[in-house]
Structure 1
Amino acid sequence: MAQKIDTSSNYGMKLIGLFARLLFTGSPHSLIDLSRMLNCSKQTVLRLIDDIERSYTGGLEIERIRTGRRVSYQIKRARKAIEPVPITVREMNLLLMCRAFAENLLGHDLFEEASKGLDKGMLLVPGRELPRGSAFGSFRPGTIDYSPHQEALSSLLEAMDKKRIVALSYKSPGSDRERSFLFKPYKIFSRNETLYVHGGLAPETGKPYREPDFDPLLAVHRIQKTHVTDEFFKVPPEYDFEKVFNRHFGLIKQKVFKVEAELTGYTAVYAAERIWSPDQKIRKTGEDSIRLTFTATSEPEVMSLILSFGREARLIKPKRLVKKLRAEMEKMKRLYES
């Protein structure tokens, strides 16, 4: 089921949370982003912004930054550095937890850099009881070691910060040769312990250019070489990461289709605990079985998902994918017949 808007949370807590995000993050947030962060309606966010402005009539200004049709908000920062604000033990514990969970994705060098930052932050924790980072861990078997890919990650972070185009070479799965092109990085994100960067292609001088049907999605560990150029780019004002990736199941973006599957046993419990698409529906069909319906954009990923559940999952729709799944299972069967 889609996540419900939290209407019971204390209004004052949302007010403090919004104020902290606008003041300390140092970057503008769109109305949609703030609504999602605070788990409330856009109308509530606007009321909160009005209340903050009314409360600080002497020296605080909330900037409204218009990019195309989208309006973003941030608190105008003073030129001089603000006084350090203490960090609570709970806040630092949450940061230490995030660091531990991200260890696999950061690689050695970036993990050490993040650790130094958190060590400095320890000075802002009042009292004698300091948090214990040893309370958190990270499960590594089956994950990618990002230590050899620090240069690519650092270049992408620099390019995103400065809004510079990156010249890179990329080796796709199953390809013997690298492909070189100019890339505009919009967003880095993780899925299943793997880092991806989503962005746009940039035209190269003297070479023909055709706008792709879909913006490139690159696995960071397959980037071979990077060079941050002196050419600038702008993120399209209509770009919406949530709309592109979090409305339907699947990294691969093809036409949207509806998936219906019958799940039993442990698989039914596992699937019911998760969100496969915001518009999903789960109907209990028996003591230990459910009928799961959701939307997807990637047939290969749906097939992999159903196959991973083994005999506890039966795909019902779409029929064309059921046919492909049967053919794939026949091939798998022949592998074990001998």
Structure 2
Amino acid sequence: MSPPTDPPPSPAGGRQRGRPRGPFTQHRRLDALRALLQKHPKGLSLYDLARELDVTPRSMRRYLAEVRRELDLVATTTKPGGARLWRLAPGEAPRRVEVRRTQAYALLAARRLFEPMKGSTLYEEIDLAAQQLLGVARRPGRGPNAGVADARLEERFLYMPFAPKDYAAHTEALDDLFQAVADLRPLNCRYRRAKDGREDKVTIHPYAMVLYKDAIYCVGLHAGRGEIRTFLLDRMRDTECATTERFELPSSFRVEDYFQGQFGIWSGGAPRKVVIDFSAKVADYVKTRKVHPSQEIEDLADGSVRMSLDIGDMTELSSWILGFGETARVVEPPELVARVKQELENALANYLGEGEERSGKTKKKTSAG
């Protein structure tokens, strides 16, 4: 007797069966399947699983083939010729992670780091974990804090993002990117180039996601060019995560090699020595900041400090220096000195032009009087 065929499509207005509505990443599928089989330790048939997860039996067959790469499932029969029942192998017992109250608070302090991702499946997963941590954090403390429960420390020990981006319009792209990174799957998309605004159809092997200055980047292989590049999520459109392909993560890949501390994304070029003097007014501030792995700080006789570092790309460096105003002076290299001087002259010209114009109008009025 042949197994039943897939049900016909739902009538107009009804819900189509197949892939569940909304973003449904591989991790959520694994969680849903694991939770279902934990409730049924003796196992469920293919058709029972399909009904419970609201997919067609045909989709369930593909689904099982995919998740068995990551979940240890066992297929058994209760009698000869009977339906195969799928159940978790003994090694797939529920995993527990013990977290102390202080550890929960420390993790909750950084939860606002992910606020720009609100609306995405990734954010929902992080928020779910945060709610579980809150349950731990609100337990009564021990020692000096014995009996103190729900002190709302999670509202008073926070990371505050600096000018975070809003990714509400990019949640689907964010989910696709996260799934591609997590499952080592190619990502296809249209990518807008920064220099001329043109869009290219590209295939990326995303090696890592990076939240840099509250914007989301992907470091990965540009498959068409065979080179590792950094891609900004904002410029991605029509993203699609591959479902049947995977790529190998190079053993030598280190995401740190593509960023240079506070000074941005690595854009190639040999590192150059940069020397900056900071006045005594900001010496303590400068000495307590680690802005680049190569930096060295030297105390000078007048209370000022000298910072030396090796930078490969100086695009963002001049803006950082100008933020210190009169308290910072570039010593070398000469091209950075020239760039900072030019930016200062351009900024000053904006105010001089306005002042001269007003001064001229005042003189004309005085002459007429």
Instruction: Tell me the TM-score normalized by structure 2.
Output: 0.61
Amino acid at match of 2:347: M
- Between Structure 1 and Structure 2, whose CA radius of gyration is higher? 2
* Alignment match of 2:125 (pick from 113, 121, 145): 113
* Equivalent-residue separation in structure 1 for 2:221 and 2:170 (angstroms): 21
* Alignment match of 2:250 (pick from 236, 259, 262): 236
Matching residue of 2:266: 252
Gaps of 5+ in 1: 1-76, 204-209
Alignment of 1:84 onto 2:105: no
Amino acid at match of 2:199: E
- % identical aligned pairs: 24
* Equivalent-residue separation in structure 2 for 1:266 and 1:253 (angstroms): 33
Compared CA separation, residues 315 and 124, structure 1 to 2 (3 A): closer
Bigger shift: 83-92 or 247-256? 247-256
Matching residue of 1:104: 115
* Alignment match of 2:331 (pick from 293, 308, 316): 316
Matching residue of 1:165: 186
* Alignment match of 2:239 (pick from 222, 226, 235): 226
Displaced runs of 4+ in structure 1, greater than 4 A?
Answer: 121-128, 246-249
Q: Deviations over 1:34-60 (max 9, x none)?
A: xxxxxxxxxxxxxxxxxxxxxxxxxxx
Q: Is the 8 A contact 2:101 2:139 kept in 1?
A: no
* Equivalent-residue separation in structure 1 for 2:226 and 2:97 (angstroms): 47
Gaps of 5+ in 2: 1-88, 141-148, 354-369
* Alignment match of 2:229 (pick from 187, 206, 216): 216
Matching residue of 1:274: 289
Offset of residue 123 of structure 1: 5.3
Offset of residue 138 of structure 1: 5.3
Matching residue of 2:341: 326
Alignment of 1:142 onto 2:163: yes
Larger strand proportion, structure 1 or 2?
1
- Aligned pairs (5 A) from 1:165-184: 165-173=186-194, 175-184=196-205
Q: Is the 8 A contact 2:189 2:240 kept in 1?
A: yes
Matching residue of 2:39: none
Q: Is the 8 A contact 1:104 1:193 kept in 2?
A: no
* Equivalent-residue separation in structure 2 for 1:280 and 1:312 (angstroms): 18
* Equivalent-residue separation in structure 1 for 2:212 and 2:95 (angstroms): 37
Structure with the larger RCO, 1 or 2 (CA within 8 Å, 6+ apart): 1
Instruction: Tell me the TM-score normalized by structure 1.
Output: 0.66
* Equivalent-residue separation in structure 2 for 1:183 and 1:162 (angstroms): 13
Compared CA separation, residues 308 and 225, structure 1 to 2 (3 A): farther
* Equivalent-residue separation in structure 2 for 1:192 and 1:97 (angstroms): 18
Q: Deviations over 1:209-262 (max 9, x none)?
A: x444xx211222222231112332112221122344357954233221111011
